[in-house]
Amino acid sequence: MPTAMNHPLQGLLVLEFCQYLSGPSASLRLADLGARVIKIENPKGGDGCRRLAIKNLWVDDNSLLFHTINRNKESFTANLKSPEDVAVVHQLIQKADVLIHNFRPGVMEKIGLDYAAAQQLNPRLVYAEISGYGTEGPWKDKPGQDLLLQAMSGLAHTTGNADDPPVPFGLAIADILCGAQLVQGVLAALIRRHKTGTGARIELSMLESLLDFQFELLTTYYASGQLPQRSALSNGHTLLGAPYGLHATADGYLAVAMVPLQKLAEVLESEALQAFSQEEAFRRRDDIKRTLAAHLKQRPSAFWMEKFRAADLWAVEVLDWQQLAEHAGFLALDMVQTLQAAGRDIRTTRCPIRFNGHTLTSDRPAPALGGDRDRILQELNTPPN
């Protein structure tokens, strides 16, 4: 069991009316911090993520992804079209500190669990909701799916090189960013409640999270009126000049960050690079990167890294996940924890937060659908249907 000393949210009850990634990732972090999280799930299938198998990886009847993002939670099944089950949910809301949902706009209102109704049941409740595009406007009913949001937010034009088509991030960045920002909002509301005694409504949309993520690009666009331009090769950041980017060597890739061009030319012993001045780092960045690419391909990564390290310049080798897992720097973080589910071990990442010098881990797996219903009903002194 979590302790208050190292799990500051111990004693808080969170009700999660969520599916897939954005909402569940937020309640996962709250659970890591010590909160008790109860997933309210439809008895007919539950969270859709239970069936979302990535690379066809399963644990018992649920996907591996479901287990990793729903560890350390409980499951209570409730038919939200049943007055009897809704009455029990009302009892849970009266006891809860936080309610999180990521249904489309209008769904919670339709079943009578919107903010106004929940506030009547529990004025101290922090009511947090995630939508795809906000609750108003012409996009509000669009599906809040990560790839679609990356496409509509402009984010897909920040990755890849100039001649590439739009390139999405290789992970569900809208879901995870929005979930993290929801946690920030929830914690702020809990602090406010401690001061005032009243709850709050927290609203986020995945689109707003992605727009906030691009604040540098949007601010620059509004000031200049010009769209961000990707490098023709080795693109790393649309607003930064050469040599910033990933560059091929004879046997791999190096990431080179903000390095003065003349210093780079000196360290790499490149006469061709010496022809460029620092003032040309952005204006002629493609020419500079082509020159750098031709030079770096002559030798392996280890050769160049020795020179970068000796000069204390910002460059690293580009690692894949296997190389990362074997590296002493990764092992020192102790980022992997093991869960047990259905008689097998699941290795996954732990919460990245350290509290009072302690890492926050739990070996409790994701819950079986409705696996905690009877015990929770007993706590409420409500007989099961």
Predicted pLDDT at 381 = 86
| Greater model confidence, 109 or 54 | 109
Q: Where are the alpha helices (DSSP H) in 282-339?
A: 285-296, 301-310, 321-326, 328-333
Does residue 346 sit within a domain? no
Residue among 67, 122, 73, 83 nearest 99 (CA): 122
253 vs 348: CA distance, rounded Å: 27
215 vs 311: CA distance, rounded Å: 33
Does residue 87 sit within a domain? yes
Question: Is residue 267 very low, low, confident or very high in pLDDT (cuts 50, 70, 90)?
Answer: very high
Domain span at residue 68 reads: 13-213+353-380
Does residue 228 sit within a domain? no
The two three-digit tokens of residue 327, written as one number: 């590296």
At 148-171, the pLDDT tens digits run 999 999 999 999 999 999 999 999
Does residue 285 sit within a domain? no
Residue showing tokens 């599906």: 143
Whole-number average pLDDT of the chain: 94
Predicted pLDDT at 374 = 96
At 247-259, the pLDDT tens digits run 999 999 999 999 9
Our count of domains for the chain comes to 1
Does residue 234 sit within a domain? no
Does residue 344 sit within a domain? no
Whether the model pTM is above 0.85: yes
> Long-range contact list for 170-176, CB < 8 A, 24+ apart?
172/21, 172/146, 173/146, 173/210, 173/213, 174/22, 174/146, 174/149, 174/150, 174/206, 174/207, 174/209, 174/210, 175/20, 175/21, 175/22, 175/25, 175/146, 175/206, 176/21, 176/22, 176/25
The yes-or-no answer on residue 7 being catalytic is no
Does residue 188 sit within a domain? yes
Weakest mean pLDDT among 92-96, 191-195, 325-329: 325-329
Question: Is residue 188 very low, low, confident or very high in pLDDT (cuts 50, 70, 90)?
Answer: very high
Q: Which residue among 7, 101, 237, 247 is the active-site one?
A: 237
Residue among 223, 204, 235 nearest 130 (CA): 204
Q: Indicate if the pLDDT at residue 380 is higher than 90.
A: yes
Does residue 306 sit within a domain? no
At 193-242, the pLDDT tens digits run 999 999 999 999 999 999 999 999 999 999 999 999 999 999 999 999 99
Consecutive H or E run containing 354: strand 354-355
228 vs 224: CA distance, rounded Å: 10
**CATH number of the domain that 137 lies in?**
3.40.50.10540
Residue showing tokens 């859709």: 48
Residue type, 290: R
